[in-house]
Structure 1
Amino acid sequence: MQYQYKDFLSDFKIWDQKSHAKQWLLFPENIGKRLSIDETCLSNGELYTILTNKSGRGRKGTIVAMILGTKASSVIDVIEKIPLKKRNLVKEITLDMAANMGLIAKKCFPNSVRVIDRFHLQKLASEALQEIRIKYRWKAIDQENEAIEEAKKFNKKYESQTLVNGDTLKQLLARSRHFLYKTKTKWSVSQTERANLLFELYPDILKAYNLTQELRTIFEKKNDKIIGFAKLAKWHEKVNQSGFNSFNTISRTIINHYQAILNYFDNRSTNASAESFNAKIKAFRAQFRGVRNVEFFLFRLTNIYA
């Protein structure tokens, strides 16, 4: 049935973008004032840079461009096929902190304000927190192995120490992964009990968790760019005092991109629409059990979303 649709029922054979579909697709008519740029994996690990119009809301008219690869110069060459007059209409573009995305946005859309997605910052902070948890988990595993080996030397049976909630130290650190991503108000009763034990035994994890939540609160509660800047400065100071190398890296990253990060407070714009559209592409791909013919897949995708 799919072959009949491809070869006889659809317009695939006369598709005007078929000759270059694997390399790039352009839909200049879908350009708008507010765009998102991101990368997505199509098949076999091949990355595409995808430019979407926020006003398309993930429906028809969303895709502006899809370009094979993420190399800035290659992507710029394709996007510049869109007339400058149209590109000058773009007033805002959301993106992540990748240098290539920033360069593409700057070169192709000179009149636009670049806004770095706050969720990428929060993700980095969560990863830094998990790094500290994992460090203590490996330490707990090593301590348990040493205790087992010591017991064997004296022909004794090793019994692991259990905490009041029934977890061993190793289990406590492993089972704490999920609730550390959440705010305290979203914890279940068992997660609250586990968190209290974890934070009592490992004050560094509590300190890192608080830093993560404070960064989230800055973006969720503040609307003013000046206040946001002041709050971020206070957060930087707390990070410096914490002594956590991974959080210091995030702090330096924010300093290096502070202007594009602070632009978030103007319209509270994020790259959520691009992430959502990436999920649609993955669902579309899963529906057809992968991508057998890249050009035909792109033809069907753009028929729906471009």
Structure 2
Amino acid sequence: NGIASDDTFRRFFRAIDSEKFQKNFLNWVNSLDFKKGEIIAIDGKTSRRSHDKDQKPLHLISAFASEARVVLCQKKVDGKTNEITEIPELLNWLDLKGTIVTIDAMGCQTKIASQIINQGGDYVLALKGNQSNLHDEIINYFEQAKEYGTKGIDYLAFEEESKGHGRKEIRKIYITNQIDFLPQKNEWENLQSIVCISSERIVDNKKSKENRYYITSLPSLAKKIGEIIRKHWAIENSLHWVLDVSFGEDQSRIRKGNGPENMAVMRHCVINMIRRFKNKRQSIKGLRKQAAWDEEILKRILDMAS
């Protein structure tokens, strides 16, 4: 009878119990034989057009294995909660032993830091105004350190430059484990170092500068911390960008029932399967087309799911 219609698929995904679907996804990922890697990036993404009358667009937080480039799990953030309350539950689903968890400023919370340490991991947490006192203390420290010099600063211990698309960027990483001056030091489980990344971008001969700040349970190794933070950004390029460009997630108008959440999980599932199959030269978008044209390729991709 051929392939089911769009409407049939929509009704199907609306009706699936999203909580059970999430659990099945998690069980499936845990059954896969792959090297998870050291770094787990956690970040949120909003499906912009999944809104409806009296319904906000879907917002999911995802855990992403930055080196394997695999989605480990995801959780919906509904209108009555926010990322701060949902991240701890997401972390509970993960084996964090021997991993480094990176989270943006929303996840820079003392309870989240403690949970990561108690589950056997380490953390690198972005710091912004939501931790205003700590943020101000660290900004002042690094500004004085750069101007006057302070023992313990890993001065320019690592500097990197990247070029491309008419843009040049120079990043300098400053890091120190001399943190006894922080009144909040003991509030943060196993806090070891504070970090400043100073970026200078040159685009069309116009310069812009930005400083970003982090706290971490790792020792003060500037090059390693720089690599970890750069790999956190991979969740933007290797997941969020792919979802929008290759899957058109931001343009999707699926919005009824459990449809938006279940389709988001399905997209993650497909990304994981294709990533296990494709080589470095193949694009996800191109391989999806090949799988649509060639049943043998489709079968081989599905075989990688087991």
State the TM-score, normalizing by the size of structure 1: 0.43
More helix by share: 1
More strand by share: 2
State the TM-score, normalizing by the size of structure 2: 0.43
Structure with the greater relative contact order (CA < 8 A, sep ≥ 6): 1 or 2? Answer: 1
